[in-house]
Structures are given as structure tokens and as C-alpha cells.
Amino acid sequence: MNWFPNYTCMACGCEIQASSNAYLCPTCMNNLPIMTEKQTTHYAPFFYEEPIRTMILKLKYASNGFIAKALSPYLAAVYLQHIAQQFSQAPIIVPVPLHRSRYHERGYNQSAVLATELASYLHLTVISDALVRHKKTTIQKHMDTATRAANIKGAFIANPTQLDHIKKQNILLLDDVYTTGATTHECVTTLRRAGAKQIVILTIASVD
């Protein structure tokens, strides 16, 4: 009889030994697409490839909070290695928001959940509603770079009730995936207009 609970790999779903104390099976663990490119405009611990791709999809659509917990140490490592020294003072973490109708559909903003995990890991403050997505944009998956930028333009506003907490602050902008950068750069523009000082983009995965 097996007295141990069964654990499954967060990415491929295969069974893993309870005693291994891991959340990924050895195959997925060995295949993590660790970022190898030198990054300057945005930072990510991983390329957007398997098994990270599946983990992000599960985080997004299955409200899997364990995945945010499992990924936050990797975000923290990139922050400490490449980003922390760029800030003159500790940043506040701002997640890229969903439009409220999409939030109601999912009941969950994956970037906000990641932000909360990372903030507790790094002892930083998170302001989940610093940005508001007031324009409902169409899904961007199949758009080219120029169309994405036009689609997202003017989609965000700085939350009027949070302006005092944004002004002259350094900001770590957090999202799940960096694709063309259209979304995050629109957020950067919005935060800058609201008086934010230094802004650095951090995502779990980046396509390049």
C-alpha cells in the first residue's frame, strides 16, 4: 500500500515521487528554458518555451496559485541579480491589469498573483490597482507588432486614487509574458505620465 500522497508535475502532469519534494518532474526540471540572452530593456528568467509555456497557461486559465509560488523564486533571482542595483530606492511592484470584464470572467489576474508572491519574497510593496485597464482590447495573440501597439494604445490609465503612491516612485512592472512589448510599454508610458521615476519590466518569460 502506498501511504504517500500522489504528486503530479505542474507542467506535464506526470506522477512524481512524493519524497522528491519537487513540483516539476525531473524531465521538465531539466528542460527549463533558462534565459540565455543578455537583457537590457526587459527582464525574464525564462524563454517562452516548454515547460514554462504550459505553466503560464495553467497560471492564467486554471487559477493555479501554486505555480505563482513555484515561479516567484526565479523572478526574485533575476530581480536581485540584474534589476535591484538599477534602482536608487526600492521599487513598488505594479502588475499589468486585466480589463474588469476579463477579470470577472476569470476571477483572477495572474500578474497580480505573481506580484503578491514576489513582493512577499522580496519584502517589497505591491500596488495591484496602480494601473486600470479601461479599454477592452481584443486578444492580441495573432497580431503583428504594429497592430498590437495600435490595439493597446490608450488602454490604461493611472488610478486617480493611487497617484500619490506612483509619483516619484520607482516601479517594477510585472507581467507574465513579454511578446512584442506593446502592453508593457503602454503601461510604462502611462506610469511615466503619472510621474513615476524609474520603471523596469520583469516577466516570467520572454519570446526573445
Binding site for Zn ion (CB under 5 A): 9, 11-12, 25, 28
| Least gap, CB of 132 to Zn ion (angstroms) | 37
Of the two residues 12 and 83, which places its CB atom closer to Zn ion in the complex?
12
Residue whose CB is less far from Zn ion, 55 or 155: 55
Buried b (16+ CB within 10 A) or exposed e, 136-157: ebeebeebeeeebbebbeebbe
Smallest separation, CB 27 to Zn ion (Å): 5
The least CB distance from residue 16 to Zn ion, in Å, is 8
CA 98 to centroid of chain Cα atoms? 12
Q: How far is the CB of 9 from Zn ion (least distance, A)?
A: 3
Residue 93 contacts residue 118 (beta carbons within 8 Å): yes
**Contact in structure between 131 and 190 (CB atoms under 8 Å):** yes
Nearer to Zn ion, 8 or 120 (CB): 8
Give me the half-sphere count of Cα atoms (radius 13 Å) on the Cβ side of residue 50: 4
Of 19 and 88, nearer to Zn ion (C-beta) is 19
